[in-house]
Amino acid sequence: MSQQAEHLDPTDSDLPAFAFDNSFARELEGFYVAQPAAKVPEPRLLLLNRGLAAELGLDADALDSDAGAQIFAGNIAPEGAAPLAQAYAGHQFGGFSPQLGDGRALLLGEIVDAHGQRRDIQLKGSGRTPFSRSGDGKAALGPVLREYLIGEAMHALGVPTTRALAAVATGEPVYRETALPGAVLTRVSASHLRVGTFQFFAARQDFDKVRQLSDYAIARHHPAARDAENPYLAFFEAVADVQAELVAQWMSIGFIHGVMNTDNMTISGETIDYGPCAFMDAYAPETVFSSIDTHGRYAYGNQPPILAWNLARLAECLIPLVDDDRDTAVEILTEAANKVAGKFQAAWLARMRAKIGLVDEVDGDEELVHDLLDAMHSGGADFTLTFRRLSAAVRGDLDPLRELFSDTAKLDAWLPRWQERIEPSGASADAPTADKMDRVNPVYIPRNHKVEEALEAAVERSDLGPVKSMLDVVTRPFEDVDGQDDYATPGPKLAAPYQTFCGT
């Protein structure tokens, strides 16, 4: 521990204060293991999310300090923290693991934020826990900064997500294929309850605990379900609604999560566990970035069916809660699970309509969207830029759009149909329509080559400049800023496909 840390006392009234109120620790004994964080030699605060700190009622100035670094590294548990590792199971690439759990993360506690919302504060990379199996419980700097960058970009894009509060370097190496600088991420979420949390207890046939967990999740995330005729069915439906909306959002911005295991699927409907995720450049539904996803289970175009598959696993956990008669319960839940594809489709179509500037609903819209996607696929057009440049087309300039397509035959057939469709509402002459489209179609996403460039500077040269510059850009994704073209365009074509790694 550094000199300064030696004389930092967690009960010291000068330490930054966290108004913890730890409902999970209090109400769900038996669902976790209490576990302090590992101590690290030389914590150094790399990034602090001041806006988020303010939302959480934290004093950013006080946290921007050695004491803050010690807290975010896990060397000091602030007063009121109750560090614990949560138990969960999960289907990983389709195979069930009855025990996963927080192997490299600790829930420090919960804070009720300025909007009255309860948020988890979690350290990721804070050392071994009883769930670590053969892992070291640590995180490397690259993946920590990657989760910070992409999570904050997603938030700015309007996607429900865990957020990054701070990143610290630990001053110790972690050993992967090579020795890498170690780091800890502090992340904030509506909760860390996952489909896999339910599976952990259902797999052990402990349905009292599944019920207790459901009641907790209902109170915390889906309170309307409590008053429904069948609360646990309503709970399932509420989770399905938020998850369908979430995956529709991912699809609408070309986001590929990469590891949609049931333990990475939240009950709150937030995106969680940014590992091998990445944004697609040219539209191709078969796109996979993750080095371990060899069969493309979590390919871009497979995310909607995987959503339904994952929710069916949640439904299975709830069978004994939904009806005393097993057959009846299975029938009810099967019917509910079968509605997931439709929920997704409706959420997706609403987003895609907005992306192409449609303000009303007409039969044939779905076909219109699909035909554009088909034109993008055969023309190798960039996903993000195509939608962004549709607004230029509304304003009368077709060239920027057309030049994204290597083959414009399908696009040229599609454009008049689209123009005719938006014409009746006066949209093509209508600047407000184009402006509205610009508010849902980002200019800037975290482009893969820019992410790699920024992480390389941080990891290889201890230069955080590029990460910070990129954060500035991707946290204002809809504002076209002069001189930032480099962030708006896909990188040079690579000899081999872009690959991402889980970063464990």
Please give the positions annotated as active site: 263
Q: Which two tokens stand for residue 182?
A: 């170690």
Beta strands in 35-148 (DSSP E): 44-48, 84-86, 90-92, 95-97, 105-112, 118-124, 139-140
Which residue, 16 or 103, has its beta carbon nearer to Mg ion? 103
Q: Which of positions 259-278 make contact with Mg ion (CB under 5 A)? A: 264, 273
- Nearest position to ligand AMP, beta carbon: 135
Name the residue nearer to Mg ion (CB basis): 216 or 274: 274
Q: Cβ closer to Mg ion: 78 or 160?
A: 160
Q: Which of 137, 143, 231, 477 binds ligand AMP (CB under 6 A)?
A: 137
> Can you count the helices (H) and strands (E) in the chain?
21, 12
Considering only the stretches 68-76, 151-159, 259-267, 452-460, report the one whose residues sit in contact with ligand AMP under the rule CB under 6 A.
259-267
- Residue 136, binding choice from ligand AMP, Mg ion, none, Cβ under 5 to 8 Å by partner class: ligand AMP
Stretch that binds ligand AMP, among 102-110, 216-224, 350-358, 451-459 (CB under 6 A): 102-110
| CA gap 312, 337 in Å, rounded | 6
Select 100 or 233, whichever has its Cβ closest to ligand AMP: 100
CA distances from 306 to 5, 18, 313, 322 (A): 46, 38, 11, 23
Question: Of 104, 146, 155, 450, which one interacts with ligand AMP (CB under 6 A)?
Answer: 104
Give the nearest distance from C-beta 173 to Mg ion in angstroms: 23
What distance in Å separates the CA atoms of residue 100 and residue 132, rounded to the nearest whole number?
Answer: 8
Residue 355 Cβ vs Mg ion, minimum distance, rounded to whole Å? 30
Pick one of ligand AMP, Mg ion, none as the site partner of residue 316 (Cβ within 5 to 8 A by kind).
none
The whole-angstrom separation of Cα 166 and Cα 125 is 12
Identity of the residue, 107 or 352, whose beta carbon is nearer to ligand AMP in the bound complex: 107
Range 27-31, long-range pairs (CB < 8 A, 24+ positions): 27/216, 28/212, 28/213, 28/216, 30/209, 31/86, 31/87, 31/197, 31/201, 31/209, 31/213
- The residue assigned the tokens 């150094």 is 44
CA-to-CA distance for 343 and 327, rounded, in angstroms? 25
Residue 344 binding: pick among ligand AMP, Mg ion, none (C-beta 5-8 Å cut-off by kind): none
Q: Total number of residues binding ligand AMP (CB under 6 A)?
A: 18
Number of residues forming the site for Mg ion (CB under 5 A): 2
Binding of residue 257 to ligand AMP (CB under 6 A) = no
Question: The tokens of 206 are what?
Answer: 């402990």
Are residues 266 and 189 in contact, defined by beta-carbon separation less than 8 angstroms? yes
Q: How far is the CB of 440 from Mg ion (least distance, A)?
A: 29
Query: Which of 38, 60, 77, 100 touches ligand AMP by CB under 6 A?
Result: 100
Window 269-308: contact mask with ligand AMP (x via CB under 6 A): ----x-x---------------------------------
> Facing residues of 266 across strands?
194
Closest CA to 20 of 78, 84, 87: 78
Handedness of CA 260, 265, 269, 273 (dihedral sign): negative
Q: How far is the CB of 310 from Mg ion (least distance, A)?
A: 13
Residue 228 is given by DSSP the state: S
Give which of 156, 95, 89, 151 is closest to 122, Cα–Cα. 151
Which of 68, 103, 231, 442 is close enough to bind ligand AMP by CB under 6 A? Answer: 103
Stretch in the footprint of ligand AMP (CB under 6 A) among 206-214, 256-264, 323-331, 371-379: 256-264
The least CB distance from residue 94 to ligand AMP, in Å, is 15
Closest CB to ligand AMP among residues 249, 266: 266
CA distances from 215 to 192, 203, 226, 232, 243 (A): 15, 18, 8, 9, 19
Residue type, 392: A
Residues that bind ligand AMP (CB under 6 A): 100-104, 131-132, 135-138, 259, 263-264, 273, 275, 502, 504
Give the interface with Mg ion as residue ranges (CB under 5 A). 264, 273
